[in-house]
Amino acid sequence: MDESISKKPTSGVVGEASYIELYKQHHESIKMHSTEVMNNIRDDAFAQFEHLGFPTVALENYKYTDLKTALTIDYGLNINRIPIPVNPYEVFTCDVPGIHSYLYFVVNDAFYPVNDARNNVLPEGVIIGSLNKVAEQHPELVKQYFGNLSSTKNDGLVAFNGAFAQDGFFMYIPKNVILDKPVQLVNIMRSDVDFMANSHNLIILEEGAKAQLLVCDHTVDDVHFLSNRVTEVFVGENAIYEHYKLENMHVKTTNLATLLINQKASSNVLANVITLHNGLTRNTIEIDLNGENCETLLCGMVIGDKNQQVDNFTSIIHNKPNCNSRELFKYVLDDMSKGAFTGKLYVAKDAQKTAAFQTNKNILLSKTAKMRTKPQLEIYADDVKCSHGATIGQLDEKAKFYMQSRGISEKEARLLLMYAFTSDVIDNIRIEALQDRIKMLVEKRLRGELSKCEGCVICQ
Amino acid sequence: MAEDLLHEVTQADYKYGFTTDIETDIIPIGLSEEVVRLISFKKNEPEWMLDYRLKAYRHWLTMKMPEWAQLKIPEIDYQSISYYAAPRTNGPKSLDEVDPELLKTFNKLGIPLEEQMALSGIAVDAVMDSVSVKTTFKESLAEKGIIFCSFSEAVEHHPDLIKKYMASVVPITDNFYAALNSAVFSDGSFVYIPKGVRCPMELSTYFRINAMNTGQFERTLIVADEDSYVSYLEGCTAPMRDENQLHAAIVEIIVHKNAEVKYSTVQNWYPGDKDGKGGIYNFVTKRGICKGENSKLSWTQVETGSAVTWKYPSCILQGDNSSAEFYSVAVTNHHQQADTGTKMIHIGKNTSSHILSKGISAGVSQNSYRGLVRVGANAENARNFSQCDSLLLGDKCGAHTFPYMEVNNETAIIEHEATTSKINEDQIFYCNQRGISTEDAVGLIVNGYAKEVLNKLPMEFAVEAQKLLQITLEGSVG
Nearest chain B Cα to A336, which residue? B408
Contact B422 A389 (CB under 8 A): no
Cα–Cα distances (Å) from A139 to A110, A144, A168, B68, in that order, read: 19, 9, 15, 42
Contact A352 B420 (CB under 8 A): no
DSSP string, A398-445: HHHHHHHTTT--HHHHHHHHHHHHHHHHHTT---HHHHHHHHHHHHHH
The DSSP H or E segment spanning A160 is helix A156-164
Residue numbers in B near A349 (CB within 8 A): 395-396
Residue numbers in B near A329 (CB within 8 A): none
**Using alpha carbons only, how large is chain A's radius of gyration in Å?**
21
Nearest chain B Cα to A371, which residue? B407
Q: How far apart are the first and last CA of chain B?
A: 14
* B478 domain residue, yes or no: no
Q: A97: burial class by Cβ within 10 Å (0-12, 13-18, 19+)?
A: exposed
What is the band of A97 on the pLDDT scale with cuts at 50, 70, 90?
low
The per-residue pLDDT for B4 is 54
CA dist B219 and B234 (Å) reads: 12
Residue numbers in A near B410 (CB within 8 A): 364-367, 369, 394
CA dist A372 and B462 (Å) reads: 36
Chain B contact for A336 (CB, 8 A cutoff): no
Residue type, A289: L
**β-pair type (B352-362, B323-332):** parallel
* 3-class DSSP state of A133: helix
Q: Per residue in B419-472, pLDDT tens?
A: 888 888 888 899 999 998 887 788 788 888 888 888 888 776 777 677 667 666
Cβ-nearest to B418 among A366, A383, A387: A387
Q: Per residue in A261-286, pLDDT tens?
A: 999 999 999 999 999 888 899 999 99
Reported as half-sphere exposure (CB side, CA atoms, 13 A), residue B81 has a value of 19
Question: For residue A194, is it left (φ>0), alpha (ψ between -120 and 50) or beta?
Answer: beta
Question: Beta partners for A362?
Answer: A331, A392
**A300 min Cα distance to partner chain B (Å):** 19
Domain boundaries, chain A: 5-291+429-459
**Could you give the ipTM of this predicted complex?**
0.72
CA dist B478 and B474 (Å) reads: 6
Number of inter-chain CB pairs under 8 A, A vs B: 113
Q: B451: burial class by Cβ within 10 Å (0-12, 13-18, 19+)?
A: middle
Q: Per residue in B329-371, pLDDT tens?
A: 898 888 889 999 999 999 999 999 999 999 988 888 899 999 9
Question: For residue B26, is it left (φ>0), alpha (ψ between -120 and 50) or beta?
Answer: beta
Nearest chain A Cα to B415, which residue? A391
Interface test with A, best of B401, B411, B442 (most A CBs within 10 A): B401
Contact A374 B403 (CB under 8 A): yes
Cα–Cα distances (Å) from A356 to A315, A422, B388, in that order, read: 12, 21, 16
Contact A376 B377 (CB under 8 A): no
The pTM of the full predicted model, rounded to 2 decimals, is 0.79
Residue type, B379: A
Q: Among the listed ranges A1-5, A299-303, A431-435, B150-154, which one has the minimum average pLDDT value?
A: A1-5
- For residue B206, pLDDT beyond 70: no
Contact A388 B418 (CB under 8 A): yes
Cβ-nearest to B400 among A365, A369, A379: A379
Task: Indicate the number of domains in chain B.
Answer: 1
The per-residue pLDDT for B101 is 53
Greatest Cα pair distance, chain B, in angstroms, is 70
Q: What is the mean pLDDT of chain B?
A: 78
Interface test with B, best of A62, A379, A391, A418 (most B CBs within 10 A): A379
What's the rounded mean pLDDT across residues A128-157? 90
- φ, ψ (nearest 5 deg) of residue A339: -120, 150
Whose CA is closest to B72, among B471, B312, B364? B364
Let me know: does A231 contact A260? Beta carbons within 8 Å. Answer: yes
Domain that holds residue B166: 2-472
Chain A contact for B394 (CB, 8 A cutoff): yes
Whose CA is closest to B320, among B347, B298, B348, B346? B348
- φ, ψ (nearest 5 deg) of residue A274: -115, 125
CA dist B348 and B373 (Å) reads: 14
Chain B contact for A122 (CB, 8 A cutoff): no
What is the band of B281 on the pLDDT scale with cuts at 50, 70, 90?
confident
CA dist B65 and B72 (Å) reads: 12
Residue type, B324: A
- φ, ψ (nearest 5 deg) of residue B65: -60, 130
Q: Among the listed ranges A453-457, B84-88, B278-282, B448-452, which one has the minimum average pLDDT value?
A: A453-457
Whose CA is closest to B100, among B85, B86, B113? B113
Q: Per residue in A34-90, pLDDT tens?
A: 888 899 899 999 999 999 999 988 888 898 888 888 888 888 888 888 877 777 776
Contact A352 B395 (CB under 8 A): yes
Nearest chain B Cα to A362, which residue? B414
Nearest chain A Cα to B363, which residue? A382
What's the rounded mean pLDDT across residues B140-164? 85
CA dist B301 and A1 (Å) reads: 64
